[in-house]
């Protein structure tokens, strides 16, 4: 199924006058990165269904704790790390080539290092030697190959981060005073966010997990490990979300038939997402004893602040859709909604994603509060929440973006728009059917991170969960069907003999395209310094304390 | 749609979006408080 750069260029030339060498490079790199991403989705989705079925207790024949945790760990790594990283890298490199007209400096190096890491990590995951969930909290330990592979995946992604920063820096030098194209600015901010936030998990891997796994260190401090992982654990959600937001701002607005409501709003939202999403990870540690309440309070306020750019994004995307609806003849306060082309996969996915964001975002602000989190922290509410935000809001936009990108990358027409629309509806229905009962189960007390719920002393309680468990399985089945419809449509598009009618890579433009934007919204240096200062304030002492006072019962870091 | 009408749409305020966002904001706050009232009054989970 591999194609050469010449073939990639030739395919594209079928329906347009030709692509430049740089664009052909971006097409090929983008295509294969995103194929890796969606292969991870295809492998991970059935595992999720298996977990819902296994945990329900309806099928004693498939109950197996070891297989459950191997499956859960693989599912989490494939979807939360592999799908997201390769999708962001692929689309980012594609944007670098097509929008900034820059050939990625590292390009394939990032792809191959990340892919090698993925394969190395996959072996212990699939064979049950790394059943440590995707958070791999010590003192649970997996096979060294898992940590080595995960580290290589992150290192590979750092080459992409460097590519994005180098590309934007070069472009700015060549275009002094001009605003960096919005879509490129957004991708670069996403890469920058990942660069900053992945340092936490990388430190944990290099200084704690790898030495322990390879037997160099005899002990590990779980408190420090959890603190370092929290550095990554929340902003990673925004690393997942930002490409979805880019699709909303830059593709949905255009496909809806209108213009982007505001270029500046979009830049402000992305800068805020960058600055507020990293130094707030302690809301994952609310019930952990090693960090004091004052630090948790600081992180709680930061967490709630992230609602601001999320609201700004919701407003700007919705306003852009309203403009499109009015340009299509929609009248009155809400007539524009009916006037939109809901048969367009991008418009439909944008609407469904926003709907899921309204519910998931609300749950997120609930979770941000210490008192609420204490109540639901170890329950299925949390798993329901992050599946709605990530699996729902985020991934549905990845799928829709792929429907838009594939014809532009391969030069082939989308195999079936009708299939795409049906698939997206099914995905939405499946995700809601899966996650709504999941939230309820959490509220009625079902714990998370368990492979079964054998609470023999409370048979009535366990019996009352059955209907929700059954609904979750139904949701999982719908999601798996939808996922395979997506892969089928993408494969058929890849090999479609019909050339695409439109292969221009053109993103939405704002109603008032800015001739200039404030330097602060067009460069990275100020935000890097701001992030450094905020990180020192929010993580400096909480990390250094482990060197001073350690964690009771453990050997101090570095000794 | 004539160019004048198009210009008018592009210059207009997205009132429908304002209403949707304001309604959502109210529902957001009210249900957020309701969840607190409903569940936190039972005390922390042990």
Average pLDDT of the residues in A311-324: 97
A201-238: per-residue pLDDT in tens?
999 999 999 999 999 998 888 899 999 999 999 899 99
Cβ pair A259:B10 closer than 8 A: yes
Residue A111 contacts residue A199 (beta carbons within 8 Å): no
pLDDT at A555 (0 to 100): 57
pLDDT at A15 (0 to 100): 44
* Chain B residues in contact with A307 (beta carbon < 8 A): none
pLDDT at A457 (0 to 100): 77
Least confident of A102-106, A111-115, A222-226, A350-354: A222-226
Can you list the alpha helix ranges (DSSP code H) found in A205-305? 210-213, 222-233, 235-246, 253-255, 263-277, 293-305
Question: Rounded to an integer, what distance in angstroms lies between the CA atom of residue A70 and that of residue A130?
Answer: 7
For chain A, the average pLDDT equals 92
3-state DSSP assignment of residue A552: coil
Percent of chain A with pLDDT over 90: 79
Q: Does the pLDDT value for residue A93 go beyond 80? A: yes
**How close does chain B come to A323, measured CA to CA in Å?**
7
**How close does chain B come to A277, measured CA to CA in Å?**
21
Average pLDDT of the residues in B2-21: 94
Average pLDDT of the residues in A285-296: 89
**How close does chain B come to A231, measured CA to CA in Å?**
27
What sign for the dihedral angle of Cα A438, A443, A448, A452?
A: negative
Cβ pair B14:A318 closer than 8 A: yes
The residue ranking higher by pLDDT, A410 or A258, is A410
Question: Phi and psi (nearest 5°) for A402?
Answer: -65, -40
Cβ pair A374:B45 closer than 8 A: yes
Contacts of A317 (CB under 8 A, 6+ apart): A248, A249, A252, A253, A350, A354
Residue A255 contacts residue A347 (beta carbons within 8 Å): yes
**Residue A1 pLDDT class (50, 70, 90 cuts):** very low
Least confident of A182-191, A430-439, A544-553, B22-31: A544-553
- How many beta-carbon pairs under 8 angstroms link A with B? 59
Q: Which residue of A has its CA nearest to B5?
A: A327
Average pLDDT of the residues in A47-67: 94
Question: Phi and psi (nearest 5°) for A198?
Answer: -75, -10
pLDDT at A61 (0 to 100): 94
pLDDT at A415 (0 to 100): 97
Residue A469 contacts residue A57 (beta carbons within 8 Å): yes
CA geometry: angle at A327 spanning A322 and A328, to 5°?
95
Cβ pair B16:A315 closer than 8 A: no
Question: Rounded to an integer, what distance in angstroms lies between the CA atom of residue A389 and that of residue A183?
Answer: 22
Cβ pair B32:A358 closer than 8 A: no
Q: Which residue of A has its CA nearest to B33?
A: A366
pLDDT at B25 (0 to 100): 94
Question: Rounded to an integer, what distance in angstroms lies between the CA atom of residue A163 and that of residue A171?
Answer: 12
Residue A54 contacts residue A64 (beta carbons within 8 Å): yes
Cβ pair A327:B1 closer than 8 A: yes
Average pLDDT of the residues in A158-176: 97
Q: Does the pLDDT value for residue A2 go beyond 70? A: no
A441-474: per-residue pLDDT in tens?
999 889 998 888 777 778 888 889 999 999 999 9
Residue A368 contacts residue A310 (beta carbons within 8 Å): no
Average pLDDT of the residues in A128-133: 94
Average pLDDT of the residues in A520-530: 91
* Chain A residues in contact with B14 (beta carbon < 8 A): 261, 318-319, 322-323
User: Of B1, B10, B21, B27, which to mutate for an interface test with A (greatest number of A Cβ within 10 Å)?
Assistant: B10
Tokens of A23: 């664009």
* Number of neighbouring beta carbons within 10 Å of residue A438: 27
Chain centroid, CA A12 distance in Å: 29
**Residue A475 pLDDT class (50, 70, 90 cuts):** very high
Residues in chain B: 46
Chain centroid, CA A514 distance in Å: 29
pLDDT at A333 (0 to 100): 94
Least confident of A6-10, A172-176, A544-548: A6-10
Can you list the alpha helix ranges (DSSP code H) found in A253-394? 253-255, 263-277, 293-305, 307-327, 335-339, 345-368, 370-376, 380-386
**What residues form DSSP beta bridges with A447?**
A379
Cβ pair B32:A362 closer than 8 A: yes
A12-35: per-residue pLDDT in tens?
544 445 799 999 999 999 999 999
Contacts of A264 (CB under 8 A, 6+ apart): A514, A517, A521
**How close does chain B come to A215, measured CA to CA in Å?**
37
pLDDT at A514 (0 to 100): 85
Identify each DSSP E strand in A119-250 by its residue range: none
Which of B 2-41 lie inside 8 A of A, CB atoms? 6, 9-10, 12, 14-17, 19-21, 24-25, 28, 31-32, 35-36, 39-40
**Residue showing tokens 């549905």:** A396
A327 touches chain B (CB under 8 A): yes
Tokens of A281: 């990870």
The ipTM assigned to this model is 0.91
Domain A16-548 has CATH 3.90.550.10: no
**How close does chain A come to B25, measured CA to CA in Å?**
9
Least confident of A119-123, A128-132, A520-524: A520-524
Identify each DSSP E strand in A41-139 by its residue range: none
Percent of chain A with pLDDT over 70: 95
Least confident of A92-101, A401-410, A461-470, A547-556: A547-556
């Amino acid at each position: 199924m591999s194609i050469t750069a010449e073939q990639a260029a030739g395919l594209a030339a079928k329906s347009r006058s030709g692509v430049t060498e740089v664009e052909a490079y971006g097409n090929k790199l983008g295509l294969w990165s995103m194929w890796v991403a969606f292969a991870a989705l295809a492998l991970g989705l059935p595992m999720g269904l298996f977990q819902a079925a296994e945990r329900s207790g309806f099928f004693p024949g498939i109950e197996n704790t070891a297989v459950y945790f191997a499956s859960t760990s693989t599912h989490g790594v494939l979807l939360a790390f592999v799908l997201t990283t390769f999708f962001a890298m692929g689309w980012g490199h594609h944007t670098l080539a097509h929008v900034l007209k820059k050939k990625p400096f590292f390009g394939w190096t990032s792809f191959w290092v990340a892919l090698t890491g993925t394969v190395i990590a996959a072996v212990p995951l699939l064979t049950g030697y790394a059943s440590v969930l995707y958070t791999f909290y010590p003192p649970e330990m997996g096979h060294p190959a898992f940590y080595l592979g995960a580290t290589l995946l992150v290192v590979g992604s750092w080459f992409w981060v460097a590519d994005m920063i180098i590309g934007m820096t070069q472009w700015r030098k060549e275009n002094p005073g001009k605003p960096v194209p919005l879509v490129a600015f957004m991708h670069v901010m996403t890469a920058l966010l990942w660069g900053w936030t992945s340092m936490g998990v990388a430190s944990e891997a290099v200084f704690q997990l790898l030495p322990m796994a390879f037997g160099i260190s005899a002990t590990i401090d779980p408190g420090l490990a959890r603190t370092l992982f929290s550095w990554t654990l929340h902003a990673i959600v925004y690393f997942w979300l930002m490409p979805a937001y880019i699709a909303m701002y830059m593709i949905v607005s255009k496909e809806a038939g209108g213009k982007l409501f505001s270029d500046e709003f979009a830049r402000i939202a992305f800068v805020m997402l960058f600055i507020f999403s990293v130094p707030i990870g302690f809301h994952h540690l609310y019930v952990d004893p090693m960090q004091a309440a004052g630090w948790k309070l600081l992180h709680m306020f930061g967490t709630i602040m992230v609602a601001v750019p999320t609201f700004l994004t919701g407003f700007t995307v919705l306003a852009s859709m309203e403009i499109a609806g009015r340009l299509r003849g929609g009248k009155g306060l809400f007539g524009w909604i009916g006037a939109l082309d809901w048969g367009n996969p991008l418009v439909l996915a944008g609407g469904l994603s926003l709907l899921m964001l309204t519910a998931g975002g609300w749950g997120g602000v609930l979770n941000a509060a210490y008192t609420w989190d204490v109540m639901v922290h170890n329950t299925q509410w949390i798993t329901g929440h992050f599946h709605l935000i990530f699996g729902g809001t985020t991934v549905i936009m990845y799928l829709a973006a792929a429907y838009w990108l594939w014809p532009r990358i391969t030069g082939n027409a989308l195999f079936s728009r009708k299939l795409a629309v049906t698939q997206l509806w099914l995905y939405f229905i499946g995700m809601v059917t899966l996650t709504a009962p999941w939230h309820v189960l959490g509220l009625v007390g079902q714990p998370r991170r368990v492979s079964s719920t054998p609470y023999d002393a409370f048979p009535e309680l366990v019996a009352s969960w059955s209907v929700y468990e059954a609904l979750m399985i139904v949701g999982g089945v719908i999601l798996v069907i939808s996922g395979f419809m997506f892969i089928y449509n993408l494969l058929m598009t890849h090999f479609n003999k019909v050339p695409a009618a439109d292969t221009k890579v053109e993103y939405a433009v704002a109603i008032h395209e800015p001739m200039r934007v404030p330097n602060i919204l067009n460069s990275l240096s100020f935000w890097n310094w701001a992030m450094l200062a905020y990180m020192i304030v929010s993580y400096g002492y909480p990390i250094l304390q482990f060197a001073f006072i350690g964690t009771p019962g453990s050997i101090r870091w570095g000794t | 749609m004539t160019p004048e009408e198009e210009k008018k749409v592009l210059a207009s305020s997205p009132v429908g979006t304002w209403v949707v966002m304001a309604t959502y904001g109210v529902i957001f706050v009210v249900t957020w408080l309701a969840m607190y009232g409903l569940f936190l009054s039972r005390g922390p989970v042990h």
